[in-house]
Structure 1
Amino acid sequence: MTTLAADREIEHLMTLHPKGFDLSLDRITRLLERLGNPQDRLPPVIHIAGTNGKGSCAAFSRALLEAAGHLVHVHTSPHLVNWHERYRLAAEGGGKLVDDDVFAEAIARVAKANQGQKITVFEILTAVTFILFSEHPAEAAIIEVGLGGRFDATNVIARPAVSVIMPVSLDHEAYLGDRVELIAAEKAGIMKRGCPVVIGAQESETALEVLIETAERLDCPTVVYGQDFLAFEENGRMVYQDEDGLMDLPLPRLPGRHQFANAAAAIAAVKAAGFEISHRAAERAMVDAAWPARMQKLTQGRLVDLAPKGAEIWLDGGHNPGAGIVIAEALAEQEEKNPRPLILISGMINTKDQSGYFSAFKGLARHVYTVPVSKSDAGVPNDELALRATEAGLSAEPVSSVANALMLLRDSWDGPAPRILIGGSLYFAGAVLDENGTPPT
């Protein structure tokens, strides 16, 4: 896929507008008015917020709707390799990443409408979402929140078909607050009066209370994981249960026990949005759902070829303590089924709790190689990251790249083929997919 035209448009915007986030709805509202308010001409919207699990919920929701024969748009962020990944347009047989010329034209149109006024690039690209999704036919649109909820640029949708709040934990404290109840309040900001709400599995009772209280205050029909719906494993299958009864389904293609709750939230969300999902469609969705860099097994590519023979390689972009816990649990499950020594290759950015992430792997990982994050100015130096891993009780050493880590491992390895987890940042995971020659499609 040619990406030059859209990339040039975005690079130009980067020179005009500040990087980062400036949480407010004033600028995006003004811009959308100039564009004729395309956000008011969308198909039914499934709007998803949360600290962890947003992307997986979006992937399952898309798989459910497409398995039921619906045309679906999907907006997610951030991208891993190409900006185009943020915009999947509905198509027969399954949504496709936006064509470069269509994307570039939409960016240019939005930038022209902005007339050079102060705005962030994310706000312009969110307006592009609404332009693309309003001008191409679909029966549903899945839109993932970028940061927070209340003041996120996507939160201009007046009447979502359903608002979904996935697990809330500490992350982006500089923007959202340093207590889980503050972050939950920000996420709850996507709820709209009288519109259905689905609350996914919450680790924090405090967060759950904030979410339920907000939904009640806004008179939102609400279903809560663990109270109104849930999922569990039984006889090697996933059972989904709600007030309509049970669905006996295949285990989700996305590995890890946490994906049961993510899949359940998606089923609840799609039903709350007014779509009927047959048992057959739900079965197919569990098998079809895919989400790059979230416990993604790498089986081929340039980097894979450098690893020790027979190594099992996983890639995951999870980057906060909550993500660390669920990734470690998923790998512990793998260890029970097929014991292998676990090696981490980690790169992280400086806005994350690095020690908190590494703590989840204490007693599980044999060694950590820390590497720079080449695609981010905020990357933690590899020697400093090794120190954070050591503080968390792990054996760690800095190396210059993922390729070098894999070659060092290959040349020194003696014993059963290892299990390797590469991760710690979505930016890092994207760079790995790019270098491996296996970008998302």
Structure 2
Amino acid sequence: MIINNVKLVLEQEVVVGSIEVIDGHIESVSQSLSQLPAAIDGELAYLLPGLVELHTDNLERFFTPRPKVNWPANSAMASHDALMISSGITTVLDAVALGYINDQGGRIENLERMIHTISESQLQGNNRAEHFLHLRCELPNQDTAGLFESFVGKGSVAMVSLMDHTPGQRQFVNSEKYRTYYMGKYGMNEQEMASFEAEQTLASKKWSHRNRLSIAESARARGIPLASHDDATVAHAEESASLGCAIAEFPTTIAAAQASHDAGICVMMGAPNIVRGGSHSGNVAAKDLADIGVLDILSSDYYPASLLDAAYQLAKMPSNDYGLEHTVQMVSARPAKALSMHDRGSIVAGKRADLVLARPAQDRLRVDQVWRQGKRVF
């Protein structure tokens, strides 16, 4: 297969040219156009590497589309996978929560069903994107370490993150933001919310530190990349570095992000933060981290289409001098490298032909075609 007459988004530049694909891998990259009549004409659209998503909560909305509604697993997975691939995402880490702080959303009930479905659908070749597991470990919970050991051997776990959503720290330094978020999410009244806050604070004191150490040690022993979550201080970043974290998910302050970056930890922020112009929790804006050069990776988090949108919009912002070749690395080469997936993430001869053809449409790039390992999947 030859894809011709495209703007190739390479790691260092964007050039007009063509690529040749053989047996699912990129055979050659050329800055000249092919004269072969069978070549696919890209009509000067952008050709990007397939996007690599490290943290998406998107699967849950299909397994539980409404409260108390459990959707058939294979149908839910197919719908989720279709949304990923149509967003240009060819490698997906599906984030599932262990030891979640409230089960009103059906997460614990659905946990084993989701993990089994992700793994089986991938093994059976039913997915268009390639799916892995991301185990999100909510630390202030008695059951978290046990759940982790139960599930870490099931399916292909590509990443483990260490979370603590206790009020008054990390993501929710502002307790009022915490109350607004959880009262809205779970429909609690003032009395129920006060009780909930007290329970979470007590559980954090009892379980968070010990779970952080034991899960980190277990993940390191298995060679699974570790991520911190919502680091807010330099001390948090230093602790994450001491645990061997490769990724800092969603640091909430410039100080924490800078300390993580300086320690060689890849700083990851939410793509919705870029698209919306700031954090929904009132924390540091991803744009501000990009402007000072400490933003390494973007994640779509809760909105898959935001990943490519954010890369495109960030490249157009006058506050930085990033080109599209730089911002696309944040959603492809850099997340792949952080996971030691060296076979993907950039348009280079020898790498997998995970490719996205997209063209500008107002303030975003519209995905027209997607290939995974040389096979067209969208």
Report the TM-score, using the length of structure 2 for normalisation.
0.29
Report the TM-score, using the length of structure 1 for normalisation.
0.26
